[in-house]
Amino acid sequence: MVGRLHDRAGELTELGVHDMVGIGFGPSNLALAIAVEEHNAQVAPSAALRVTFLERQERFGWHRGMLLDGATMQVSYLKDLVTLRNPASDFSFVSYLHGQDRLVDFINHKTMFPLRHEFHDYLEWAASRLDHLVEYGSEVIDLRPVTRGSEIAFIDVVSRRGGDPERTEVRRARNVVIAAGLEPRTPDGIEITERIWHNHDLLDRVNAMPSTPRGRFLVVGAGQSAAEVTEYLHSNFPRAAVHTVFARYGFSPADDSSFANQIFDPTAVDDFFHASDEVRAMLLDYHRGTNYSVVDTDLIDELYRRVYQEKVRGVERLHMVRASRVTGLEDIPDGVRATIEFLPTGRRQTLDADVVVLATGYRSRDPWRLLGGMAAVYNADDAGRLRVRRDYRVITSAGTTAGIYIPGATEYAHGISSTLLSNVAVRAGELLRSTLDHADGHSSEHVDDTSATDEVTADAPALALG
């Protein structure tokens, strides 16, 4: 039986139900795929879970545009795809190193933080071993509720393959796991153009560099991305000036001290989840400096060294434009004119650059946008966010037994590690356990939200399944 329905002219040719369809195949769903693969290896073939992951990209890739030479991971290699869940797994970073005949060399390197290139290669290696579970080049365009009797028991996941936009595929699933990753955040009112980039695409954009008559780059931001982009442009364009603009007085170091780092522990998720909104906000505020708008100390020192040495030599190419903000960007011939306000005095000046790189952060892709026809059975909290359980399952109206999970988009409920690698291994085990418990009817968290409607609206046509 094939779990895929071809839906050209609405015709359903073959029927099969997936236990799980994953949307996106980044590290979060890759870790989940490994958990499923390891589960399936331990159970009778008849009990094996049927899963498929749908990934829009044509091949595995994780922040390829920021795979800068020399950039290292900021999370320990032991927080790989599996180790915290199953230290004996052969999908670990250590197993990968062993397979590459590099384990002893890595040990001698005495670091916990591999190159991003190397970690990306590890992720690709793991993904390639799970090719049978993934459809690359598949973009999910709708989720449709499917009723059995009076309950929504399944979800039809409608996807489109890049090569043939006319042709949609439908997979019927008991559970859908949306892990669609992060998207670049740009300042309000600023459009991405040929000369205004987000750092997310840095390497692709550099490879198609427009003319650079002024030899000047402007970088916006004071986080790790801004610092890495600044260092990269300064190193790779040795005649160009780089001006980095931020509201802080100077780059601030990432708090990677041991006690503070416990905010990324799996148990911290429980503490955060069960806290009040006020306490959640307080904890996020206290520990922002472990992750947001902060920079690795070695890189801060390196950038300072460069600024100082240039001052000594009297040839200044690297400029920190502190306590400032960009108030406007305007196209000019072969460049961009930035208006920059110095916040202490309010004085404004303009600076013409060839290219502006916005290193202004990321946000989780909003799972609401992917719910499609399923949106009607979910409800939001006061801030308009999907209400979720500890197991990342979205709270539904009564009468819905099909599950949607949104790991990676719930910092508001599960804390600061939600969007990060730190917890993907343990979280994958929790997601798998939850889907198995629901299938067995052993879930401790029943769908019980009586405030939600159990109607499916006209916008969400329900497909009856006998």
- Shortest Å, Cβ 417 to ligand NAP: 10
CA distances for 51 relative to 7, 145, 173, 292, 392, angstroms = 20, 18, 9, 34, 18
> Which residues between 313 and 342 bind ligand NAP (CB under 6 A)?
325
Nearer to ligand NAP (CB atom), residue 250 or residue 266? 250
> Which residues between 78 and 117 bind ligand NAP (CB under 6 A)?
116
Q: Which of 70, 87, 165, 187 binds ligand NAP (CB under 6 A)?
A: 187
Nearer to ligand NAP (CB atom), residue 86 or residue 225? 225
Residue from 351, 348, 320 nearest 248 by CA: 320
Q: Which of 220, 303, 386, 402 binds ligand NAP (CB under 6 A)?
A: 220
- Shortest Å, Cβ 334 to ligand NAP: 24
Site size toward ligand NAP (CB under 6 A) is 25
Within its chain, how far is the Cα of 127 from the centroid?
A: 16
Decide: is 290 part of the binding site for ligand NAP (CB under 6 A): no
Decide: is 174 part of the binding site for ligand NAP (CB under 6 A): no
Decide: is 422 part of the binding site for ligand NAP (CB under 6 A): no
Decide: is 403 part of the binding site for ligand NAP (CB under 6 A): no
Nearer to ligand NAP (CB atom), residue 134 or residue 326? 326
Nearer to ligand NAP (CB atom), residue 55 or residue 341? 341
Q: Please give the Cα distance from 39 to 21 (Å, whole number).
A: 16
Half-sphere exposure (CA, 13 Å, Cβ side) for 11? 4
Nearer to ligand NAP (CB atom), residue 225 or residue 400? 225
Q: Which of 92, 230, 244, 291 binds ligand NAP (CB under 6 A)?
A: 291
What 3-state DSSP class applies to 161?
A: strand
CB 46 within 8 A of CB 130: no
Decide: is 230 part of the binding site for ligand NAP (CB under 6 A): no
Q: Which of 222, 374, 413, 426 binds ligand NAP (CB under 6 A)?
A: 222
- Shortest Å, Cβ 311 to ligand NAP: 24
CB 430 within 8 A of CB 386: no
CB 155 within 8 A of CB 404: yes
Decide: is 246 part of the binding site for ligand NAP (CB under 6 A): yes
Q: Which of 359, 370, 409, 424 binds ligand NAP (CB under 6 A)?
A: 359
Residue from 211, 196, 222 nearest 333 by CA: 211
What 3-state DSSP class applies to 60?
A: coil
Q: Which of 19, 38, 142, 228 binds ligand NAP (CB under 6 A)?
A: 228
What 3-state DSSP class applies to 194?
A: coil
β-pair type (335-342, 324-332) = antiparallel
Nearer to ligand NAP (CB atom), residue 212 or residue 252? 252
Q: Where are the alpha helices (DSSP H) in 333-389?
A: 368-371
Q: Please give the Cα distance from 160 to 170 (Å, whole number).
A: 9
CB 380 within 8 A of CB 391: no
Nearer to ligand NAP (CB atom), residue 167 or residue 288? 288
Q: Which of 22, 27, 145, 223 binds ligand NAP (CB under 6 A)?
A: 223
Q: Which of 29, 52, 89, 225 binds ligand NAP (CB under 6 A)?
A: 225
Nearer to ligand NAP (CB atom), residue 171 or residue 198? 198
Which x/- pattern over 293-312 shows residues binding ligand NAP (rule: CB under 6 A)?
Answer: x-------------------
Q: Please give the Cα distance from 193 to 76 (Å, whole number).
A: 36
Nearer to ligand NAP (CB atom), residue 73 or residue 155? 73
CB 183 within 8 A of CB 362: yes
What 3-state DSSP class applies to 269?
A: helix
Q: Residue 389: enclosing H or E segment and its boundaries?
A: none
Give residue 20's identity as a one-letter amino acid code: M
Give the range of 65-73, 79-87, 126-134, 164-172 binding ligand NAP by CB under 6 A.
Answer: 65-73
Residue of closest CB approach to ligand NAP: 223
- Shortest Å, Cβ 23 to ligand NAP: 22
CB-based burial, 64-95: b 16+ in 10 Å, e otherwise: bbbbbeebbbbbbbebbbbbbbbeebebbbbb
Q: Please give the Cα distance from 240 to 11 (Å, whole number).
A: 59
- Shortest Å, Cβ 100 to ligand NAP: 20
- Shortest Å, Cβ 411 to ligand NAP: 11
**List of residues 6+ apart from 241 with CB closer than 8 A:** 215, 216, 217, 316, 317, 318, 319
Q: For residue 458, give the DSSP letter.
A: T
Decide: is 233 part of the binding site for ligand NAP (CB under 6 A): no
Positions touching ligand NAP (CB under 6 A) are 66, 71-74, 116, 187, 220-226, 228, 246-247, 291-293, 325, 359-362
